[in-house]
Amino acid sequence: MKNLTFYISIVLCYFLLTYLDKTYITTYSKITDFLAKDYPSEVVQNYLQSQKKWGWVSYAATPLLIGLKVLLVAFCLNFIKLLDLPGLDNIKFSDLVLLALIGESVFIIAGFYKFANFYWIDTDYSMETLQTYYPISLLNLRNSISTEKWLAYPLQLVNLFELFYWGILAWGIRELSDNKISYFKSFGLVALTYGVGLLFWVGLVSFFILNAQY
C-alpha cells in the first residue's frame, strides 16, 4: 500500500510538471517561432493541431514510463542479494521498489528547477535552448565539449541530481541492511548494479541516435 501511495504521488507530480511545461514553457507561440524558420505556415498549423489532439498521450504514458523505470531500477538493485554480504539476504523486492520511488523525487525537484529557471530567470529562451538544457548538467556545456548529437544524452545524465539519486539509493541499501554495510560500500553496490544497468541503457540510446544520423 505504501508503494502504491508513493507511486501515485510521483505520477501526480509529473502530471503537474507536464501541465506547467505545456502551459507556460513549451507554449504554442514558442513552437510556432521554432518551426516557422524551416516549414511553411500550413505545416506548422497542422503540427499544432495534432499536438492539441494528441496532447493527452503524454499524460497517459507517464504512469507507464514511471512504473517501468522504477521496476527496472529495482530489478538492477535486486542483484545485490547475490552477493554474500551481511544484511542483504532479507531485502524484499518491494523494499527496492519503494527505494526507487523515493529516489525518483530527486528528478521531480529537477523538473521544478527547470521550470523555475525558464519561467522566472532565463525568460528569453528559444526552443533550441530548451531542448539542450538539463539542470546542473554537462549538457549545458555541450557546445564547449562537443556538438555531436549522440553525446547529448550521456552529457545530460552527468548532473548533480543524478548524483543525489545515487546517494539516496546508497542510503536506502544501507538502511535496508540494518546498517551492516558502510555507506561507501553501499554506494559501490549501487554502481555495480544500477550503474551497470544505466551504462548499458546509455550505450543503447547513444547507439540508436548515432545510427539515426546516417
pLDDT truncated to tens, each residue of the chain (214 aa)? 889 999 999 999 999 999 999 999 999 999 998 888 888 889 889 998 998 899 899 999 999 999 999 999 999 999 999 988 888 988 999 999 999 999 999 999 999 999 999 999 999 998 988 988 999 998 887 776 766 777 888 989 999 999 999 999 999 999 999 999 999 999 999 999 999 999 999 999 988 888 876 5
pLDDT at 4: 95
Sequence-ordered list of residues with C-beta below 8 angstroms from that of 104, at least 6 positions apart, any chain = 10, 66, 69, 70
pTM of the model: 0.94
- Cα 104 to the center of its chain, rounded Å: 8
159: β partners: 137
Residue 167 · residue 183 · CB < 8 Å: no
